[in-house]
Structure formats: structure tokens, C-alpha cells
Amino acid sequence: MSTISGFVPQPSDSFDVLSFGSRSGDFAIQNVPAITGYDSDRLTVFWTRAAILGAPATSPEGKRIELKSRVMPGSFNLVWSVTKDGGPFGSPGTGATFSFTPDDDGSYVVTLTATDIGSGSTFTDTRTIAVTNVAPKVILNGPAVSTPGTGVTVTSTVIDPGSADAASHIYTWSVTRGGSPCPFTDNGTSIQFTPSVVGSYSVSLSVADDQASGSQGLTVSVVTVQVPVTISGAPASSSEGTGIGLAGTVSGPGSVTYTFAWNVTKDGVAFAQGSETTFNFTPDDDGTYVATLLVTGDDGSAGSDSKTIAVTNVAPTATIQRAPATSVAGGTSVTLTSSVSDRGAADTLSVEWIVTRAGSSVPFHTGTGLAFTFTPNRAGSYTVTLAVSDDDGGTGTATPVTVSVTNVAPTAAILIGAGTGATQVTLIGPGGDPGSGDAVTYSWIARKLGNPAVIATGNQRIFTFSRNSGDNSLVTFTVSDGSGASDTIQIVVGTPGDDTIVVPNPTNTAVRQILAFGLAGRDRIDAGAVTAVPVVMDGGPGDDSLIGGSRDDVCILCFGNDIVLEGGRGNDQYNLAANNSQLVVITDAGTGTNEINTINFSNTSFGITFNLGLANGTPQTVGVDSGGTHQVSITGKFQKLMGTSFADTLFAAPPTSNNLKGSTVLGGAGADTLYGAVPSSLTRSNLDTLFGAVAARLAGGSDPDTLFGTVATQLVGGDDSDTLYGTPLSLLNADSGDDTLFGAVPVTLGGPTIDTLFGAVLATLQKNRSIASDTLFGAVAARLDGGPGEDTLFGAPLAQLTGGEGADTLFGAIPVSLGGPTIDTLFGGVRTLLASGRSADSLFGAVAARLSGGPDADTLYGAPLAMLNGDSGADTLFGAIPVSLGGTDINTLFGAVSSFLAKGQTAATLFGAVAARVHGGPDADTLYGAPLAQLHGDDGADTLFGAIPVSLGGTDLDTLFGAVTTFLASGKKPDVLFGAVASQLNGDAGADTLYGAPQTVLNGDAGVDTLFGAVPTAQRRRRSRYAVRCSSDVPGWSRPRHAVHRDRGSPGTRHQGRCALRGRSHTSERRCRCRHAVRRTSGFASRRLRGRYPVRPATDLRRQGSSRCVVFRPHDARRRPGQRQLPVRRRQAGTGVAERSRRLGHGHQPRHARFLQLRRTGEPRLGPD
């Protein structure tokens, strides 16, 4: 029976037998005393001398199976054998690797026999592999084109991975035309048939093995004329992943148009098609590729050619992408990743990792997959190899990686074992070494405390010794690994009674730590003399007093009442279980300036309330449970407080003269409320509320928290939605949750997610670079910077607001600076600077604000003294008194009193106010003026609306609407002008349309204009108003004059008219000086008519002399020599009158003719009269 010394298993322990070297025979584990819960009957050890690696549970027939071996160190002869369905298969193999290819489906058993060359002993391992059947593949070879009466031969190639199935293949052929069978000669693997007529013939073959079948079809086109077709560029063989280029040629009459159809099959299965004279394809796997070209002519001729290409496999490649560090510590996991590739895109790849340790031929660890992790168990050099193989047997390897592993010393740690009492002590050492392959040894030396004489020794993991009743014990314990590293501690063990234990300062420099156990009773453990190493003191049950030394001591597991803990100097920790004590008195007598003393309540089973800042010696109630009221009293300086896993309320302590670090409060896992002092650091891990003080640090956890800071505090929100309240000099960081931050004077606020930030004077609100949407509220001189999310910023006087990249909303004060690069909404105040970003923004300015839009479509709202610049986007601008509006793109501008609206390069809409100046850009604009406004359309086709008084003008195709005392000036392009009372309409050089009102002056200027005038009357009974439209661009006419006259058929009535363009008034007369007249038809002379009769185009105008034109009414036209009169069609009065014009001239339409037509009130109007 073999024994592995130095290993004592515990429940759940695991180990690799191979790591203990060469063994033979039976195997047992010894030395398992005093281990509670251990059941030796449940421990199973598998001792394997030889093993088969890489055997799959299943595999298809015809696929090569690669196997490897793993044997114990030594000299062995290895022999492989295979059986198929119980019978021998193939030839035996030797060596560390073996491969074979199953020729049929069935059950294959692989056996590895390892024979020890020295002793002759044999060891075997077997694996069973279930091999499955694969259906055969069929490939047909025959002409794609033939002629009637010509024999056609079609051959077949059958591919079956199971070579043993070939003898059982059954061939079934068929030949049809139009669905009807055709006769053929069956030769087994081929057929012959002779088509008699033109048409398409379908040939199919089905091949079945003993379990499955495969089929393939072929189409033969039979035509009257067959033309020669040739494929060039086809190699006899190629490799997978390599492109193949083919070209087809046809020999036929040049008058015929040919169509090309390429078809490529892979192992009988359609793979690629094409329709050009050339064709390219790339094989994605090894196999037999047949390229066929069918050429058909528009005269009914056809021809074909085919080429067979054997494509070979290409082995895959592998690379270890991420190698580990050159050196790692033993017991540390090592992770590697890989990159593998195969030129055959259809190949299936498998990856295998192998790790071997220097000096051993046995693989230490193996694995599969692109990523691989292993843990070296001892110091040394480890070599990692990577191999990748495809499903066609190709294998590639990566460059090996070497990992150096350094040794890690074991850690000495003990537990008090069962049975420890007044006369016997049992101590239990650690379970092993970080390097699991190291052999661990133990050394125990027991003495009576205060006496150097040795009373017991041991070398096992569990050490039991006897002592005299009442003696305290001092034990030195050392644990070592196989690489020579070790760790030493000392243990002081009291008795179950009341003890006074004075812990000595160790003289052995190898001692790392002292553990002191008081056991039961009222004990006093005094480590005040210990200066070399830290002391861990466990008072045990009873009312104990623990006094630490000058190093970083720990007082743990306090039980009983009136427990006094004195840490002394050093960074001490007091681990309290409040539910096990009624009153704990903690005294830290240290005088160091950099000490961090910790009170830890993490072992308490309920939530507590504790205040580090109470006066020395003041008892405070920690909590109440079924055991009563629990109190703690502290004296000294404590910098760190740790709560329970329940809901706690914790208070930090302020700094003192000899403590420069402040206090740290950790809430634990519960929903805690933490209060900071000056300075303090508050952190938590659940739903907490944190209150900071001067120079405090408050950190939220993973749940929604509420943090309250004071002067110079730092508030850090956790992963969830937090609420942070800062004070002057505070730094608030919302972290990743949807947080709300309130700053003070000055404060810095920020967070990477959807936050709400409230700043104060000199505050900086920084949204960080997240894409979340925040709300920021600034105060005087605050700086608000939104992140890439959609933010809302509220500024105060002297504030600076930057929206960031998101669609933000910014509210400024007096003065404030607003800006952002994305779609923002900005509200400014007095002397505010609002700068839009690259997206569509909305800007609201105040008095003396400056609004600057970005390159996108913005909306700007100005106030008095504001300046609005829409920039290059399609913007909308609203001005105030006074305001300056402008932009370079498609804008909408609203002005106010004394506003200046300046439009940019594209079409805009401008709304002016009192004394506003509205100036359109070079594109089509719309301008709305107010009293005292000045509107100028500029070069674009603009629309202008004036008020009282307003000046309208433009240089392009414009439409102008005037008001009282309005001046409308058209530009050089055809415009439309609408005037009001006392307005002046100037048509300029373009072909304009002018609509006048009473006291309006219409001037058509040099263009071909249309003018509508208005004729007011003092009597309602015969109010008739006529407008004249005349040509104003007749060659030779510089400025024609026009007049409006009353109708001669209404004697006794005095009509007031005016010139359409010059505004001259005329009384009743036959003609005016400019010799233009408008007359009513005689049909209306005797009728009393009410309403207005504007003149519409119906009468031709003809040049009369050199400087005048005459308007003729239809029934009383004055014909000049050479003129002819056209018929006149009339309707009765009262139903409306429409009259056709007479065509004046020498039998043709004059070039510059305009027509006048009368209509009665109530009929549709052409425009305002």
C-alpha cells in the first residue's frame, strides 16, 4: 500500500494524484484524526498509469480520429489497437499518438496498453467511439448541349466517406423530357440515350448505401445547331481559399447574340453561378469542383463545355494572441487567448491546448476553445502549446509560450480545535500551499508561557499536546513548502478560567504575528509590551479586557459584559459582536500621528447606531435585541467605523490635533444613514443616507443613496440613483446612477449618467462624458457643463453654461454665458452670451443678451439690447427692444422696437416691430414690418408685409404688402406690391403687379407692370371704381401716364379719381392730360348701380403717338385706319357683365397688348381695388 505523506485531506479538498510522482499498487490516505465531518468511505481515488486523450464520444464514418496518450513518468512501451463491432479493425499502432479512419458506421473500441520496460507490468485504458453513417454524394458528368439523333453518355462519380459501403450501393437512373420518361441504356454507373427531338432532357441518379441515399440531376439541352464552346483558365487542381478565374469563348456567326450561363458544383452540390463571359469563384473547402458553361444564341443554337478541378485542403494556422506576464506567482491562474484561421471557410476547426512543466513529459493541463486558463501549482517553467486542426485532417500549431512561476510561501494560520481545555490543547494548521503541487510540512513547538522549556513538538497539520492545569501556553508554529519558503507565528492559549495573560515580545525574528486566545472566563490579555509584531486578541466568552501593543492590533469576537479593549499605538482594529455583550469599553492609548484605528461591527446580527464623535468614556447604546440593551464606550482616537450588514446609523468623528486623516465610516451592506464630521469619509454598499461635514468624503454604493456634504466635502454617488447635497468647497460626483446633486459656494458637481445638478456661487457643474440626460442648476458665477446627453441647465448671474453634445436646455441669468454643440434650448439673461452648437437649438435671450446660433436650424428669442445671430442653420429669431437679428441660413426672424433684422444667404422669414429694420438676404424671404419699420427684401424672391409707417423694398422677385404711409419699392425682378391708404408703390424695372388703395401712388416703372388702383366716392349710390392696367415696357415708352375718369353715362354725378401711379385726382371730364380714359358701356347708362366695377383685362391697348396710349371700350371703339372691329358679346345688367375685347391692329395680336374687362360687384375679384 502506498502512502502520500504530508497530505491530510479535509471535506471538499481535491487533488491530482499525478502531482505526487510515480506510485503503484493500492493507494490509501493516512493521518486523518480529529477532522469533524470527514467520512473516509466517501473518498475515492482513481489511480491511472496510462490514459487515452482526445477520443470523441461520436464521430462520422470516414473522418480521421487523432488520439494521444498520457502515462506516468517512466519507461513504457505503448501499443494501440482498435475493434469494430467486436472484431479487429485496422493495424495496431505504437508510440505516444495514434490515428485511424473508420470505414463504416458501428461501435469502435480503442485500447492503449502501456508496458513498464523495467518491471514488465502492464496498464491499459480503453475508449468507445460511436461512428455514424454518412449518405453518399453523387456527381453526374455529361454534355450540357446536344443535337437530335446524337447519342448522349452520362457518367457518375459517387463519394461515400464509408468506404465499406461501396459494395452495397444501389444506382437508380431516370431520363425525362417534359415530364415524360425517355428510353436509355443503363450501365450501372453510367447511361446512354439518344434524343430524337429538340428540347430539354432531365437526367437524375440516386445512390443508396445500407442506411441513406444521395441524388443529383443533370439537364441536357437538345438544339438543332450546336456551336463550339471552350472554357479557359481552369487548373487541374487548386487549394481551398484560392480564387479561380475562368473565361468562356464561343465560335459562331458574328450576327448572333449569345448568352452565357456558368454553373459550378462542389461534390455534386450547386456552389456558384454567373452570367458573364468571364467567371471567378473561390472554393471554400477541399473537394471536386465541376465548372460548366452553357452558351445559347438568339438563333436557337447552343453549346457547352465543362472542367473538373480537384481542390485540396490547406492546414489551418494558430496564434497565441495574449500571452501572460513573464512571471506569475504560484497558485495564480494564467489566461491565454488565441486566434485561428483556415483558408477553407467551410472547415470546422478544433483547438487543443497543452501545458507541460519543465522536467516532466506528462502534460500538466489541457484544454479546448479559443481561450484557455490554467493554474500552476508549483514554481518552475511551464510551456504552453496550441494546436488547431480542421475536419479534413489538416493541423497547425502556434509558437509556444513559456510562463515562469515563482514560489509563494504558505501562510501560517490556526484554529482552536475541539477538546481544548485546562489540560489539553488542539491546534489545526492550514490546509495547504498556494502552489498546490508543493509538499507542505509543519513544525509545532509548545512551551509554558514564561518558561522556555519545550513541553511538546509535532509535524502534522493537527497538533495536540497536554499541559498542567492552570498553565497558559506559548506555541511556535511554522509551515513550509517544498520550495523552501515558510511562515511562522506564535500562539498564546489561556485557560477556561480567569486569566491574566501578558503577551511577550517575540525574540524569534521569523515570527510574523501573535495570536492570543483567552478562552472562557474574565481574562485580561495585555500585549502592551509587544513592539515587534501585531497581535490578534480573542477574549472569548466572559468579561474580558484586551490591551494591544504598539503595532496594528486586532481585537475580535468580544463576548460577555464590561469588556475593555485597549489598542495602544498602531493601526488597531476592534471587531465587535454587539449582540454578544452588554457593555464594551474601548480605549485606544496610541499617540501616533498617522494611526488608523478601526471599530468593526460586521459580526453583529442586527443594525446598530454608533457615533465616533462622542466624548471620551461616554457609553452609547449600540442596539437592542432579545439579549437586552448593548452599549459601547470609547476613549481615544478612532478613524474608521464599519457597520453591519443591516440598516445602521453611523456618525463620523471630527479630527484632532494629532490626527490628520479624519474618520472613515463604512455603512456595510444595509440601508444605512451616515453622518460625516470634519473631515470624514462616508461609504456604503446599500440604500444609505450620508451626511458629510467639513472636508468629508461621502461615497454612495450600488443602490440609491442620499448624501449631504458640508464645507470641502467630497460626495461620490454609487451605481444607482443618488441625491447629493454639497456645501462650499464641496466636490460632488454622481457616478453612474440617475442622481440629483445640490451644490453650494463653491462646489463642483458631476456624474456620468442621468443626473440633476444644483450649483451655487462659483460652482462648477460637470456632467462628465456620458450620454445620459442631466438637469443642472447653477448659481452666481457657476459654471455648468452638460455632457453628451440631453441636459437641462439653469444658470444664475455670472454663470457659464455649456450644453455639451446632447440636446440640452439652458436657462441663463444676469449675466450668463450659454452654449452647446448639439440640439439645445438656451434661456439667457441680461448681458448673456448664448452660443449654439452644431445642432438645432432654441435660445432665449434677455436684456443686452447676445445670441449666436450654430450651423444647424436654431430658434433665438431676444430681449431689449439683444443681438441675435442665427448663423448658418435654418433658424428662427425673435427680437425685442432694441435687438439685432441675423443669420446666414434659412431663418425666421421676429424683431421688436428698434430691432435690426439681417438675413443670411438662404430663404428666411422676418417679423419686424416699431422702428425695426428688416433686411432680407439674397434668397426668397418673407418680411413683416411694424410702424416705423424699414423692410428690404434684398436679392431673393421675398414677401414683405409693412405697417404704419413702413418702408418696403427689394431687388428680386418680391411680394410687398404696405400699410398707411407705407413706401413699397420693388427691386429689379417682377414683384407684387399691395399698398394701403396714402402708400406709395414703386414697381421698379421688373414686371410688377401693384395693388393700390385710396391716396395710393402706383408707379409701374420700366417693367411690364400690372397696376390696380382705387377710386373713392362720396355718394354710395353711384360708387364705381375702376383700375387701369397698362403695359409699362412697350419699346419707346419711358414712363406712361394713366388717368381714371368717370363714366359719361352718369351725368350730374361728380366722380373723384386718381392717377394709378402718380396719385393725381381728377374730376368729371372726358380725358386727362395723359390722354388715357376708361369708359363704361352704354348698357349701364340708365341703370342705378351700386357696387364697384374694377376693370379686368379685356381691352387692347395700342400705342398712340409717341408718348401716350388709348383705352377703348368695346362698343364705342375708335378705329384707326387699317384697324378692324371684332364682334362684341354682352349680357344683361344685374347678372354681371362680361365683354369680349376687340382685337385692334392689322389682323394680329400686338406684342405688348393688355386687356380690360368690366365685372360687377359680387363677382370674383382679381385683387384689391
User: Taking Cα atoms as reference points, which of 404, 384, 407, 385 lies closest to residue 396?
Assistant: 385
> β-strand 170-177 against 106-116: which pairing, if any?
unpaired
Q: What's 949-1012 look like in SS3?
A: CEEEECCCCCEEECCCCCEEECCCCCCEEECCCCCEEECCCCCCEEECCCCCEEECCCCCCEEE
Domain boundaries for CATH 2.60.40.10 within the chain: 2-124, 133-222, 225-312, 317-406
**Model confidence pLDDT, tens digit, residues 196-214:** 999 999 999 999 998 899 9
Check pLDDT > 70 for residue 1006: no
Looking at residue 1073, its pLDDT comes to: 39
Distance of alpha carbon 488 from alpha carbon 413, whole angstroms: 9
Q: What is the DSSP string of 576-611?
A: --GGGBSEEEEE-----SS---EEE-TT-SS--EEE
**Strand pairing partners for 365?**
355
- Higher-confidence position of 615 and 763: 615
> Nine-digit cell at 882?
432694441
Q: What angle do CA 448, 451, 457 make, to 5 degrees?
A: 50
> What is the average per-residue pLDDT within 713-718?
61
Q: Per-residue confidence at 547, pLDDT binned at 50, 70, 90?
A: confident
Question: Fold for domain 133-222?
Answer: Immunoglobulin-like (2.60.40)
Looking at residue 1094, its pLDDT comes to: 37
Q: Per-residue confidence at 650, pLDDT binned at 50, 70, 90?
A: confident
Looking at residue 1119, its pLDDT comes to: 45
Q: Per-residue confidence at 1127, pLDDT binned at 50, 70, 90?
A: very low
- Cis upstream peptide for 148 (omega within 30°): no
What CATH number labels 317-406?
Answer: 2.60.40.10
**Model confidence pLDDT, tens digit, residues 65-120:** 989 887 776 788 999 999 999 999 999 999 888 999 999 999 999 999 999 888 88
> What is the average per-residue pLDDT within 355-369?
84
Dihedral in degrees, nearest 10, Cα atoms 933, 936, 937, 939: -170
Check pLDDT > 50 for residue 718: yes
Distance of alpha carbon 1125 from alpha carbon 1131, whole angstroms: 19
- Higher-confidence position of 396 and 50: 396
Q: Per-residue confidence at 408, pLDDT binned at 50, 70, 90?
A: confident
Looking at residue 331, its pLDDT comes to: 81
> β-strand 554-558 against 535-540: which pairing, if any?
parallel
2.60.40.10, 3.40.470.10, 3.40.640.10, 1.10.10.10: which CATH number matches 2-124? 2.60.40.10
Say if CB 518 and CB 540 are below 8 A apart. yes
Looking at residue 1025, its pLDDT comes to: 36
CB atoms within 10 A of CB 897: 19
Check pLDDT > 60 for residue 302: yes
Q: What integer best gives the mean pLDDT of the chain? A: 70
Residue that the C-alpha cell 410687398 belongs to: 960
> What is the average per-residue pLDDT within 998-1012?
67
Looking at residue 202, its pLDDT comes to: 96
> Nine-digit cell at 565?
479593549
What CATH number labels 225-312?
Answer: 2.60.40.10
**Model confidence pLDDT, tens digit, residues 743-762:** 554 555 555 544 555 554 44
- Write out the H or E segment, with its range, that includes residue 832: none
- Higher-confidence position of 460 and 751: 460
Q: Per-residue confidence at 738, pLDDT binned at 50, 70, 90?
A: low
Task: Give CA separation, 497 vs 93, 524, 526, 582, 816, in Å.
Answer: 74, 11, 16, 20, 76
pTM equals 0.47
